[in-house]
Structure 1
Amino acid sequence: MPESVYIHIPFCTHICYYCDFNKVFLKGQPVDDYLQAMRLEMEHTFQQFPPKQIKTIFIGGGTPTALNENQLTYLMKSIHAFVQFDSNIEFSIEANPGDLTVEKLKILKHYGVNRLSLGVQSFNDELLQAIGRSHQAKDVYVTIDEARRLGFNNISIDLMYGLPNQTIQDVRHSLDEFFQLNLEHCSAYSLIVEPKTIFYNLMRKGNLPLPSEDIEATMYELMMDEMEGHGYKQYEVSNYAKKGFESKHNLVYWNNDHYYGIGAGAHSYINAVRRSNIGPVNKYIQAVKENGHAIREEVTLSKKEQIEEEMFLGLRKTEGVSIKKFQEKFSIHPLEYYREEIEKLTNKQLIEVNHRFIRLSKQGRMLGNLVFQEFIK
């Protein structure tokens, strides 16, 4: 059974121009009904698939901290009703700088949240405004100071590069600010312009001035080199951490392990079956009331599909795919199953192979998607 739970809060006080996650503007939404439906879904899910011991919880969004204090308390109590806590659990929540009041931080701390993931994106106020963020750089420092004062010692921020009109100097400035804050973790993502976003519409009209591919590659290389130089290990293509502060929850995804997904639009992976929930909030609430769940689609993965996912998810990790674990899972040696692909990519110096792991080279990390697609037969 899964040892990890993802919980989705789709509400936002502001919609960012690049975001394609399942989210809705908070005002006028049936938030209390939604939280009650999630509690019902948790109860139904854990009855159907009883967990042994939950090791990680991740509350994402949307913006979980868009909930008011009473709603946040209700959510925390719901989680505690179904999850047995111990001292080793990693309990993460996403938050926007500025949304996270002292009172909300106290509630999170009281109920065992021990990892904060802040959507910072940039320390440039003009750029933040241009991508639709509602906070300013000063809010980041205030939120982190308050969190530290209350005892949070595992804080991550998101940074973005490849943004409209963004320069290499701007990326360097954001990195310098991150190092000054001395945080434990950073997720650094390049902008991907997704359909149904404001940026996508601007791009179609020719009004989205993005950096060239060469400049974006230089930004990524700068991220990798600066992080390494400041003691942050790149343990996944987009993630950097001080030793011992890697995201245990996200490693569940990249290790291709099982997890529960609770909430509108949430995904789960249990017993080689991938499930996705209904996305629209009101339809999700109605489905849970009627059925105890809101499953929209179920896909049972074939052995071939499981093998492919093991490779392209595992290669995202800097350590790569464990040959021993692959053999134990699938009773086949990956160097035999993917003989031609591995030979081709090794010759191009995009992957490295030893007796324990198959991993991306530094050049391979720059061209990750080209490598991943080679393992989908």
Structure 2
Amino acid sequence: MTMKLGLYVHIPFCLQKCFYCDFPSFANIADLKEAYTDALCKEILMQGALLPCAVVDTIYIGGGTPTTLSDGLLRKILASLKQAFHFNETMECSIEANPGTVNPQQLESLRAAGVNRISFGVQTFEDNLLVKIGRIHTAQAASQSVLLAQAAGFTNINLDLMYGLPGQTLAMLEKSMQIAMDLGVDHISIYGLIVEEGTVFAAKEKQGQLELPSEELVEQMYDRIMSALPNAGYERYEISNFAKAKCYSRHNLKYWQDQPYLGLGAAAHSYINDRRYANTHDVKAYIAAVNSGKVAAEVEEEMTSTVLMEEFCFLALRTKWGIDCGKFAEKFGRSIFAVYGNVIKNLQEKKLLTVDARSVYLTALGMKYGNQVFAEFLLDT
């Protein structure tokens, strides 16, 4: 039976580790780029042979910074994907890029190779804030990168922004949103800063050297985002994602809507047939495993029916469509109200959830306090 499949391809290289980043990316292993690309292409061919009935309808090349690879290495990866898998005619193929790491030739080459969506990690259009968070580009370089992508034929462009940054004011956030909107992109992702363990910011925080905006100011920033972007025609279709003209990230929707995806590369995660597993994070170990003919997966999460129900619910609740009651019943053989009836009723009374004939979804207030709602969908075991 044919299976629609998303592919996530991980490129672990970056020029400098950002101070907030806890993703598996590295700035000191540039000498492994060719060996890693060779191993990645081998894994792609191996996995393609294991999934002959899969039809790929989304590809997401993330990192790290994929555009730190040479044009030739990126084209080699894309060619291997095309050789190994069957592509849907309307496939979305996305790549992440940092401003300042792209040039017209590379962008045109990517577009010609089938990449039709690009996501720039801008974070802010304030140069002083970019320095504070460890970014290597400038605001001008960010704007210029978007213009170069548009000139190369990219019409589906996302910009990542952040709020709650050290030293950030409400006016700074408003300025960044306005510049993003003025650039004419159809998708904006905007995330609140979370200080993660193991990051430069976490170390600074422990030393008392990280001055973050107050909770009151962060809440004002959130409220301003939720008014400014929709007023400009950007639909909030997921907690942190806004799109014009239904230019949703089709690949990311797979994560939220219980659809299968295969992770390729070091640290890449997969979800197929209700199984979650991940490749080793160690880049050298990944290269060695693939070169010896082995699959590099080393972690598999036990997906009990309880865990599957919990994840089905709180991932779906991140989106404007919420939980599809019919799909829940089809997957688990039980009505969602038989499992979560009391939880749903309680959250409705708090005006955090809405229920209609088909779905259970977050209210605007529920979106604001999403993590509190998600916690209520954890079942007692």
TM (norm. structure 2) is 0.96
Contact map agreement 2:116 2:156 (CA 8 A) in 1: yes
Residue correspondence of structure 1 range 250-269 to structure 2 within 5 A = 250-269=252-271
Distance 2:26 2:52 in 1: 31
1:189 maps to which residue?
191
Distance 2:87 2:141 in 1: 32
2:65 maps to which residue?
63
Helix, strand or coil for the counterpart of 1:337? helix
How much does 1:299 deviate?
2.4
1:325 maps to which residue?
327
1:17 maps to which residue?
19
2:43 maps to which residue?
41
Helix, strand or coil for the counterpart of 1:34? helix
1:229 maps to which residue?
231
User: Partner letter of residue 63 of structure 1?
Assistant: T
How much does 1:52 deviate?
2.6
Runs of 4+ in 1 over 4 A off after TM superposition: none
How much does 1:335 deviate?
1.7
Distance 1:29 1:294 in 2: 21
How much does 1:155 deviate?
0.4
Give me the identity figure in percent.
40
Helix, strand or coil for the counterpart of 1:88? strand
Helix, strand or coil for the counterpart of 2:86? coil
1:366 maps to which residue?
368
Residue correspondence of structure 1 range 262-341 to structure 2 within 5 A = 262-341=264-343
Contact map agreement 2:9 2:263 (CA 8 A) in 1: yes
Distance 1:343 1:292 in 2: 49
User: Partner letter of residue 12 of structure 1?
Assistant: C
Which whole-Å deviations, capped at 9, do the CAs of 1:145-181 have from their partners, x for residues lacking one? 1111121100000000011111111111111111111
1:209 maps to which residue?
211
Uncovered stretches (5+) of structure 2, i.e. residues with no partner: none
Distance 1:90 1:100 in 2: 20
User: Partner letter of residue 324 of structure 2?
Assistant: S
Contact map agreement 1:3 1:55 (CA 8 A) in 2: yes
Contact map agreement 1:19 1:197 (CA 8 A) in 2: yes
RMSD across aligned C-alpha pairs, in angstroms?
1.2
Q: Which moved more, 1:47-56 or 1:124-133?
A: 47-56
Contact map agreement 2:119 2:158 (CA 8 A) in 1: yes
User: Partner letter of residue 80 of structure 1?
Assistant: K
Which whole-Å deviations, capped at 9, do the CAs of 1:108-138 have from their partners, x for residues lacking one? 0111000000000000010011100000011
Residue correspondence of structure 1 range 61-210 to structure 2 within 5 A = 61-210=63-212
Distance 2:53 2:141 in 1: 38
2:5 maps to which residue?
3
Helix, strand or coil for the counterpart of 2:56? coil
Contact map agreement 2:10 2:268 (CA 8 A) in 1: yes
User: Partner letter of residue 88 of structure 1?
Assistant: T
How much does 1:86 deviate?
4.3
Helix, strand or coil for the counterpart of 1:264? coil
User: Partner letter of residue 23 of structure 2?
Assistant: F
User: Partner letter of residue 313 of structure 1?
Assistant: L
How much does 1:334 deviate?
0.8
User: Partner letter of residue 348 of structure 2?
Assistant: T
Distance 1:329 1:36 in 2: 39
Q: Which moved more, 1:42-51 or 1:176-185?
A: 42-51
Q: Which moved more, 1:42-51 or 1:217-226?
A: 42-51
How much does 1:85 deviate?
3.3
Helix, strand or coil for the counterpart of 2:160? strand
Helix, strand or coil for the counterpart of 1:207? coil
How much does 1:68 deviate?
1.3
Distance 1:147 1:277 in 2: 32
Distance 2:362 2:352 in 1: 6
Helix, strand or coil for the counterpart of 1:37? helix
User: Partner letter of residue 37 of structure 2?
Assistant: L
In 2 relative to 1, CA 26–104 (structure 1 residues): closer, same or farther, beyond 3 Å? farther
How much does 1:2 deviate?
4.9
Q: Which moved more, 1:122-131 or 1:219-228?
A: 219-228
User: Partner letter of residue 195 of structure 1?
Assistant: E
In 2 relative to 1, CA 86–319 (structure 1 residues): closer, same or farther, beyond 3 Å? closer
Uncovered stretches (5+) of structure 1, i.e. residues with no partner: none
Q: Which moved more, 1:73-82 or 1:315-324?
A: 73-82
In 2 relative to 1, CA 38–51 (structure 1 residues): closer, same or farther, beyond 3 Å? farther
Distance 1:50 1:261 in 2: 16
User: Partner letter of residue 41 of structure 2?
Assistant: R
